[in-house]
A and B are shown apart, each in its own frame.
Chain A
Amino acid sequence: GEDVEQSLFLSVREGDSSVINCTYTDSSSTYLYWYKQEPGAGLQLLTYIFSNMDMKQDQRLTVLLNKKDKHLSLRIADTQTGDSAIYFCAEKRDNTGKLIFGQGTTLQVKP
């Protein structure tokens, strides 16, 4: 199928780490992306990982990719209330750039 799957909701306390998980379907996907969407706003690119990498770190963000299991995760260290948003993973399947998105994970950060 075409589905990219994400858990719908995650709640953490401020200062804790958050881990958002995603499974995708196409083993030939070249890039995998994480986007953030705040209420009433468009999608903000957070980070991406090329399919031949296992891990990518960018400040508080760490992306882990398990190609065998088609599993992608986003870890946010020291989560802040400003990180509260919906997080979407997306896979790029071919050279046209078409993205297939998951349904989004709502991250709630409690003070």
Chain B
Amino acid sequence: EAGVAQSPRYKIIEKRQSVAFWCNPISGHATLYWYQQILGQGPKLLIQFQNNGVVDDSQLPKDRFSAERLKGVDSTLKIQPAKLEDSAVYLCASAVGGDTQYFGPGTRLTVL
């Protein structure tokens, strides 16, 4: 069974630029999560989707971050404009309902 796929693996941008990350969950997993992991910390939930609907986006900085999962499968997370403090690893995870989450390899973002 293929795992959670994410791209790109690494991205370096300058502050105030825009960036987008892509996630393809495990086949059949209706629930998809985006986490932000700042260096030296544990992951923190940004947004949770159930199929193509948002379940929880209370921790998403909506003035600059947006996410969508239009067809209930793939998802994109966008940052516009990026700030220095957005430097982190962005992890995507998927699950069957609210069960055990399986994580992708992450995208490491560096904002200069």
Contacts and interface: CB of A to CB of B under 8 A. Distances in A.
Given A4-B42, A43-B43, A103-B42, A97 B91 contact: no
Interface residues of A, number: 24
Interface residues of B, number: 27
Contacts, number: 58
Nearest to B106: A42
Given A96-B48, A96-B55, A97-B95, A90 B103 contact: no
Contacts of B108: 40
Contacts of B103: 35, 42-45
Interface in B13-62: 31, 33, 40-45, 48, 55-56
Contacts of B42: 4, 88, 90, 101-104
B27 to A, nearest CB: 18
Interface in B54-112: 55-56, 91, 93, 95, 97-106, 108
